[in-house]
Structure 1
Amino acid sequence: MDAIVKIEESARTGHRAASLKLPVLALFGLLLTGSLLNAQTRPPSFADAAAVIPDLKVDMRYFGAANFVGARVDGYEAPVCLLTHQAATALAAVQRDLRPRGLGLKVFDCYRPVRAVRHFVRWARDPDTGTKAEFYPHVAKGNLFREGYIASRSGHSRGSTVDLTLVTLPGGEELDMGTPFDFLSPQSGQGGRVSAEARANRRLLADAMRARGFIPYDKEWWHFTLRNEPFPNSYFDFPVR
């Protein structure tokens, strides 16, 4: 599955505005109120995570049509995982920690442009439910906002949030997590009814991510945000390429 935009913003009050100097703001078009204007190139504060993390498996679902929208999502011009340098470095440490267990990471989504979030919002307002059986069988499409699965802003647009799972190395086989990625259902949350094996695998992933400074999202086993993210109040809109 492929993509849940979340309401993690409502849980992130109290952040101080990022201390960016005016020339930097002018360069990237950032507004600290949470929007980015006319930015078309990747800022130097972002990196291709696969170039930083050896053996990272990359399966960027929004670059293709195998997602809950049923089409490539706006802003995804290449199957590339972009993250802030801080998030990519922390994720590389998670990968190193897992390697002695014969495990590694597979990413499904990383930085997400604001234009992609807007695409999700438009999709949520469209009455068509062609992807419901696969992606949100237990939730009415009209309730996806109310229940925290889709929001008008996403922490992914700040560049330090990642959706991922555990895989075997070197084969890359995904571990059982009880539900697929972006399965919009209570089963994907902390209280979801899944097997003991899936619960243990979710715990292993969460513990590994927490140990390197990532905070889990309780509605989605795959979703983590770097605790000390460098742009806590800034939302980027350059395309993924």
Structure 2
Amino acid sequence: MKLNIILKSFVVIALLSFTTVNNGNNEGPPSKEDFIDLKELMPNLRSDLRYYGSNNFVGTPIEGYNEPKVLLTKEAAAALKKVQDELERLGFGLLIYDAYRPQRATDHFMKWAEDASDTSTKMEFYPNLDKKDLFAKGYISTKSGHSRGSTVDLTIVSLKTKQILNMGSPYDLFDEVSSTDHTSSISKNQHSLRLLLKRRMEKHGWQSYAQEWWHFTLKDEPFPNTYFDFPVE
């Protein structure tokens, strides 16, 4: 009888522990081996980490970005390296805008979005939308796939000229022109470049987000229900 009670207690504790890992905000990754600094894996990878600085839609450095590092789960990093290797053979490479994002950073976005008086970045980042509509349009939410560690924002650069390829709209422009399939106000070449990026990423296991040509999530992400909150450092 006592043995049954002990076993039942153990099961309850185990289930509670599993629930916390998959639904809570964790202070760190499960182990150091689960997340990788992409620059160590891909020396030619370039980055422009907008949330580490002030060149972003909030207009200030974002909470949780303590160092300019590009972190992803090891599975996502391996899949992204295949894309980088393939592009390098063509004389191109990837530039990362954002990768792993702590939950506290998304919370920072939420606080900004709720402040209707702060519209200092409107003309650059959401010129055709009211700030209050950013939630309804799906540009900002309480949770982000980035916090699961297998989502990345990126574009393509020329390795020879170091120039970013023109995709027809800048990163983090909250507007219909940023959707992958948008064609009415961008050139055929710009649309072709969006499709080039999309197809190369999909070839190696990534899924695109239709509203943002730069946004991709690994289809078989290792932590699909976990939103991490350890800082980037």
Aligned pairs (5 A) from 1:103-122: 103-122=92-111
1:211 aligns with: 203
State the AA in 1 paired with 2:87. L
Q: Structure 2 length normalisation: TM-score?
A: 0.88
Q: Which residue does 2:3 correspond to in 1?
A: none
| 2:198 aligned with 1:231 | no
CA contact (8 A) 2:95 2:156 kept: yes
Alignment-derived partner of residue 212 in structure 2: 220
Amino acid at match of 1:236: F
Amino acid at match of 1:119: H
Which consecutive aligned stretches of 4+ in structure 1 deviate over 2 angstroms post-superposition? 37-44, 190-193
Partner of 1:49: 38
Q: 1:151-181: per-residue Cα shift (whole Å, max 9, x none)?
A: 0000000000000000001432100100000
Equivalent-residue separation in structure 1 for 2:231 and 2:170 (angstroms): 26
* Corresponding residue SS for 1:137: coil
Match of 2:6 in 1: none
Note the C-alpha offset of 1:42.
7.2
* Partner residue, 2:9: none
The structure where helix makes up a greater share of residues is 2
Unmatched runs of 5 consecutive residues or more in structure 1: 1-21
Scaled by the length of structure 1, what TM-score is found?
0.85
The one-letter code of the counterpart of 2:230 is: F
Assess, with a 3 A threshold, how the Cα gap between structure 1 residues 170 and 54 changes in structure 2: closer, same or farther: farther
Cα distance change on mapping 1:163 and 1:30 into 2, 3 Å:
farther
- 1:60-75 correspondence runs (5 A): 60-75=49-64
In the alignment, which residue of structure 2 is the partner of 1:155?
Answer: 145
- Structure 2: how far apart are the matches of 1:177 and 1:57? 17
Partners of 1:63 and 1:79 within 8 A in 2: yes
CA distance in structure 1 between the aligned counterparts of 2:37 and 2:21, rounded to whole angstroms: 24
Matched, 1:93 2:85: no
CA distance in 2, matches of 1:81, 1:31: 23
Q: Secondary structure at the match of 2:33?
A: coil
What whole-Å deviation, never above 9, does each CA across 1:137-159 have from its counterpart, x for those lacking one?
01110000001100000000000
Q: Distance in 2 between matches of 1:74 and 1:41?
A: 21
- Paired position in structure 2 for 1:172: 162
Q: Secondary structure at the match of 1:65?
A: coil
1:143 to 127, 130, 133: 133
The whole-number CA distance in structure 1 between the counterparts of 2:181 and 2:219 is 23
Q: Which structure carries more relative contact order (alpha carbon 8 Å, separation 6+)?
A: 1
Structure 1 residues 94 and 37 mapped into 2: Cα distance closer, same or farther (>3 Å)?
Answer: closer
Partner of 1:199 in structure 2?
A: 191
Kindly state the Cα deviation for residue 197 of structure 1 after the two structures are TM-superposed.
1.1
Report the CA distance between 1:44 and its aligned residue.
Answer: 2.8
The root-mean-square deviation of aligned C-alpha atoms, in Å, is: 2.1
**Structure 1 residue 39: Cα displacement:** 3.8
CA contact (8 A) 2:27 2:228 kept: no
Instruction: Give the 3-state SS of the residue equivalent to 1:32 in structure 2.
Output: helix
State the alpha-carbon separation in 1 of the partners of residues 73 and 115 from structure 2.
Answer: 33
Deviation at 1:85, TM superposition (A): 0.4
- 2:90 equivalent to 1:81: no
By how many angstroms is 1:215 displaced?
0.2
Residue number among 159, 175, 182 corresponding to 1:185 in the alignment: 175
* Larger Rg, first or second structure (1 or 2): 2
Structure 1 distance, partners of 2:119, 2:96, is 26
Unaligned runs of 5+ in 2: 1-13
